[in-house]
Structure 1
Amino acid sequence: MNMVERATPDPEFEALLRHIQESRGLDFRGYKRTSLRRRITLRMEAVNAENFAAYRAHLEAQPSEYEELLNTVLINVTSFFRDEEAWAVTRDKVIPQILANAEEDRAIRIWSVGCASGEEPYSIAMLLAEAMGIGEFCRRVKIYATDLDEEALKVARLATYSPREVDSVPPDYLEKYFERTNNHYVFERELRKCVIFGRHNVVHDAPISRIDLLTCRNLLIYLEAETQALVLPRLHYALNVDGFLFLGKAETQLARSSLFRPVDMKHRIFAKVPQEWRRPINGSFTAGRAPRLDVPLPDSHLMEAVLNEAGTALLVIDAAGAVALANQPARMLLGVGEADVGRPFQDLPISYRPIELRGPIDEAFRSRRGVRLEDQEYRLNQSEVMRLTIDIRPLQRADGSVHAILLAFHDHTGIHTLRRELEAAQENLEQSIEELQSANEELETTNEELQSTNEELETTNEELQSTNEELETLNEEARSSNEEMESVNEELRIQAEQAAGYRLHLESVLRSMNAGIVVLDARHTIQSWNRWSENTWGLRAEEVAGTSFDKLDIGLPVLQLRDSLIAVQSGSEEHAERQLEGVDRRGRRILCRARVTGLIDENGANHGLVLVFQDITEERTNEDFTRHLGRVLGAALNQIYFVDPKTLRFLLVNDGAQKKLGLTTQQLMQIALPDILPRISADDLHALFAPLISGEQAEIVFETAFRAADGSEFPAQACVQYFPDEAPPILTLIVQQTGNRAEIGAGIDRR
């Protein structure tokens, strides 16, 4: 009996496998259930499916899940020259033998079963190209690379690998057979043309034939024993007579197979063993009793005793097909009695139970060669079963003719039991090895995924660090910008305060100015209207703001200024000035001086107009009075001098002084007061005028001699006053000749 206990099939799991096969043609029934169940469970956990029925529903709702499932079930763990020692044996022993066996110009055909992402067929291509040369390789070699995983085949066709994936490629091969582009390595184009990738199921699809080297590494370990028994003959059929099979290091299925012989058992390299299939032989003995052997055995009693003591059940069948002899073990084991000796063998139950023996006996008679029937089940009763090995040997005469057949029934029940136990133990061991290998493959896949995840995490960490540094830089820049903004805000606040101060100051200046200030924009709309204008014309600033100046109704004829406004605004005149008569808000007639200038910005552009109005009514009156007073003073007979108190130079003199001194105004402007006072020095004059300048005295009167232009001198009295509020401050001298005054006085007295 089979010592391996098999788990009871799970109906839901089997239903899921049937659904996958029917919907997508993916037949996983030949895969080992433990490994297959474990991998499908991984996908169930990934999509949160509670059971196989729920996962089946998920597959129906999300067809894209089939690709993820296929990638999980078909563990694509591969690399260039994986198991380096095995590839070295392939390079040194197998490939030279293939090239030696191949006739000249015969195509060399390679088949890589389960090629995954292409590393294995490309590894074979490099070894063959090294042995044959690239040109000969491209001319003669065809490499068929097949897999169930279409996504893996797409990667294989691209033949583009990362630096980590080509790490196991020898440096000289890497330089010779790969081209580096964008931090990746691309397999040589000409060699790649000789590798044909395709989807193929080795369990169900017809095998590719006439193969010189077939690599099927780490695929059989995932298949059930029954499926392996189906696949191995297919691989055997695919190979040429002298073809080689290259398996994975954990695959021990061929250790007991008669289809292949080991070339290198350690590295799982096998050669094909040609098979001869024999048709079953049908035949029967002729009916009727035949005569006994006509030559009796010498000392028959001794021979019978010997045969009875033998531990093996023996029957002798003569040429007529009758039982000629049955020893004691045969009688006990096979139920052949004394009465059966001489009967036709075909009439006895032993002739067809445990196996049909008439055909092999007939074959032994004809071919004169022995036949061995191993491991035949012989049931003694309902509970007891024996395992027999039946040897059918022809007994030949001296002339070589067969005169009888010896049947030996060997009881190998114990050996069979031990063999079954050994096979079961070996099968358990192989299954454990395969499961360990499968687990190792999965661990390698997980390790690679973890390494990839770790690299991604490291990259992400570096990116996060870089982002953090950038954020810190941005934070510092933001902090710096914030400080700058605060500084700018502070400056703006100060400027705003200053501007407010300037505005208040300007408003204060405008309010305090004894003139009307009106600011117009380019359309002559009033923008500013100061307090003088309010007090003079009786309109508040808010009443006139936004009003056209041309339409302003005040006691001033503003339309008379229109030409001046246009001239200044157009730039034909820099400024314009007009005098207008008007009436203020109290009804008083006034005379205004209106000055028009442009509102110029820092770039020299004109944005409006500034009008300055001054009430010059009193100024005009004062000017008239001043002109009248000037005429009076100028025509006066007394000498009147206006002198600079610091330099004592003449600022202005009247006509009486010019006539008395005999000097013109221009001549007097060139000299100073001491020049016409011969008896008083400049220092004496400063000392004399000091009480006036200090404010101690209001006037000073003194008498002295004055010298005219002709050198003559005349006595005179000078009355001096100081006017500090004038601009500039002045000393005024009113001089009267004393001689004339006496004469006049004498004349008066005489009258």
Structure 2
Amino acid sequence: MEKATNNNLPSHYVGVGASAGGLEALQTLLSQLPENTGAAFVIVQHLSPDFKSMMLELLSKHTNMEIQNVQDVEDGIQVLANTIYLIPPKKNMQMARGRLLLTDKIPESGLNLPIDIFFRSLSEDQQHKAVGIVLSGTGSDGSRGVKSLKEAGALIIAQSPESAKFDGMPNSAISTGMVDMVLKPEDIGEKLSAYISHPLAQGKTEVIKERMVDNQDLMNEIFTVLKAKSEIDFSKYKPSTVARRIERRMTIKQIGTLQEYLTLLFKEPYEVQVLSKELLIGVTRFFRDDEAFTILREKIIPEIVRNSTEKDPIRVWSAGCSTGEEAYSYAILFADEIERQNLKRTVKVFATDVNPDAINEASVGLYGDDIQHDVGSDILARHFSKQTTHTFQVNKNIRQMVIFATHNMISDPPFSNMDFVSCRNILIYFQHSVQKRVLASLHFSLCKDGFLFLGSSENLSELAPHFETISDRTRLFRKRSSVRIPMGASPSMNSMSQTSSQTMPSVSRLLRGYRGNSTSGAPASFASEKLISKYAPPCVLLNDEQEAIHVYGNVENFIKRVPPGRISNDIKDMVNDDIAIAVSSALHRARQSSEEVYYTGVYTQVGKEQVALNIRAFYMKEHDIESSPGFYWLVFEQQDTNENASSVTQISFDAAEQARQRIEDLETELKQSKEHLQVTVEELETTNEELQSANEELMSANEELQSTNEELQSVNEELYTVNSEYQEKIAEISQTNSDLDEVLSLSNIGIVFLDENLLIRRYTHAASKYINLLETDVNRPLHHISQNIEYDEMLADVSKVVSTGRTVVKEIVTRDKRVLQISINSYAYSDVAESKGVALTFSDVSKAKYTEKGLAVAYNELRRSVNNALAALGNVELSKKVSVLVLDDESASQIVIENHLMLLTDLVDKVYVASTISEAMNIYQRESIGACIVDFHLDGETAIDFAECFDERENRPPILVVTGRADKKLNPLLFSHGLLDLLQKDEIDIDSLGRSLRFAVRRNEIDLKVSQDLQSDL
């Protein structure tokens, strides 16, 4: 194993996740990657646990980089640059300190997600030096891991769904919103190489250093652009955080300088949106951090529920909630604990985030199926409903416990009287001064003994004395000090108005009227406020909802004392009860008439005296624009200060008359509302009927989908069965190939297999004696290899076989006088019609040739002896005449032979003629045949076939063979089958036929006598 040095450590660590259909994508990706990127590649492929993986062999053909199967060693394997690492079957893999560690899969743990496991460890170990790639595959493995990688600042790439054989995994990753690039496999290599080689990615330059020296103005302009788009001042974030995210976007966009990137931000508004999203880092999940949530479940939440009352709701604030997973986690824990303690309690979880898109997504409560690995099967069954195949929605009772709102922790006021506040992994991105201000606001928001939950890398800093540590490891604290901690320049409003049970408007909207009319710090504004306070009558500025947003002068005689607990900014709740009707009426008339309303004779109790008041009210729009927000002025004047009211129509306030008039107005509004409600009810009834019809159609469609799903499941089972058969077949083929390789290696036959291009595919060891072959010669052309035999026409003969398909057989005498038979045959080496090659077979037939030559000499000697014996036996008279069977399929030959036999009256008794073997056998079984004369070449058969019709040679009559074709090879062949003589048809006469017949019969009699004597001796 190569030892790691600074030179061979990777610049980046690329994790590649793939499943079904991923092999082809991996091969394409690797074929487009340079071999010297300086990065390491770790491939996590879903593998069958029952079969040996062939990934290394299959991928090595597409890259020159070294490929290793990760081995299970105690300390793990050191990851090196320009190397590919493959996960083995039955294992999960993680990275720690730049080393790959293997762990066994746990069978009883359910669905295993090896890609998520590796991506999470990669993000923790390598941070922004990591890259995550998700390729073809079914399911959602990898989607949770890319969230962790994104949070760490890694690059995320997904294969485009349309190019994937199975788009489940790429789609799931893309749906997280964390993917930076969606590419085809053939494009990933180029983009990845460009990213890795960028100077910022290599660490050769850093934006943070440039910002501190030369680029302060450019960074300020970037902050200005971001604030104009998102209303968030990112200059309050840590410079290192901002710089790292900007570097990442510059690297992805292949931009070298801040000036170029600023120009891009002006050109492409979408890039501003992307950068804002990058800086917000909205990564979260359900029940994040098991240890911390165990403490919450077992200790913190039971205590909060136990100390609560039925009258006062339990108040929880999840600050920086992102897409809502943690907020819903708290709601679920409180709901379960309240049920466990069998109490009636109300819980309000205020979930806020600066990103309105995240808030909108969170309020729906719809999440991908990957959450089941975070929430567990029990919670999933009780608190979630399955919406589609791959989505779950939080149940309505839990959603109603959570109120979502956009909220900027830096500039907006905090909530108050909270029993539990969670602000996790947010403070770490703020500058220290901002952290202190936010912590002070969180301290303010908690009630006494309230709990604070921070991120694992966050601490209380200077505010530690004001809290008690519950668990330092999980960052859980309890508020102990009620001392008011200064919050800097943050506003002082203590509550927010709830607009519904599920969502809440932006906190900043409640301050819009104040901010729109305030120019704090300007001398003119300061002087104006002092003049108004000193010389103007007491008055209150109200927003469009009639909520007080600013008070001028002393209004304590007309406003109630603020009671403890939650307060309301509604002016009708704030003024004294005896003037509430007058105030409400004045504001109502001012809104309707758009003119100033002036009431006189309004009485209120001030101390022990009744004081007469004049009330002015008027309504106006900001900047006189109809669509802009409006506001009210409400002025209180004692009647001895109304000298300047002569220009306004005065109305003496009669409480009874105003009440009657108000009642009439309300009755008119109520009548109109009833009419409008009736129309609405009718429209809703119509809509309801349409919805019922649509519901029936959807139910029908759902039934069809269920039926289709069952069919698909059945098909899937069949496919699984077929796949199993294929696997078994592959195993058989593998075994056959193994046996064939063994046979070829043991045989002494030289064989060379060529493809259609005459490239050497494989060969046996024996072939190397005739052709100078080495293992490295595989895939080389045949004509590149020298040979040890004198066969100049070999290449020409091979080409002839390729073109014609006809076998060529040659015998060559080698230099050492051995006879070599070379057979060149065409063969198909795959099921593809065009895949036809050539097999050259080299057989040493020297022994066979020498044996054949010796047999020929022996046969000639034997033939001379037989001829001599024939001459002697041919003159011997037989003891009795014989019946002769003539078997010949040529009628002319039959007649000639029959005529000759009929003239041999002293030898032949009867002559029988047959044209076929079956006909001849019928005659033989029926008649007493003493000898047979058989034509060697019959119609489709031979004399040998006739001879083999007899069970034993002793039971066979003597057979003479005649032929019309001269063939020297027939003599040895007939001799080996016990056939006694061979006569040429054109040479037959009465004498030769008689001698041969006498010889055959007499020879047969002698053979029978010898056989009988041998049997008697035994």
**Common fold by TM > 0.5:** no
Taking CA–CA contacts closer than 8 Å with sequence separation of 6 or more, which of the two structures ends up with the larger relative contact order? 1
Short-chain TM bin: 0.3 to 0.5
TM-score by length of 2: 0.26
In our comparison, the structure showing a higher alpha carbon Rg is 1
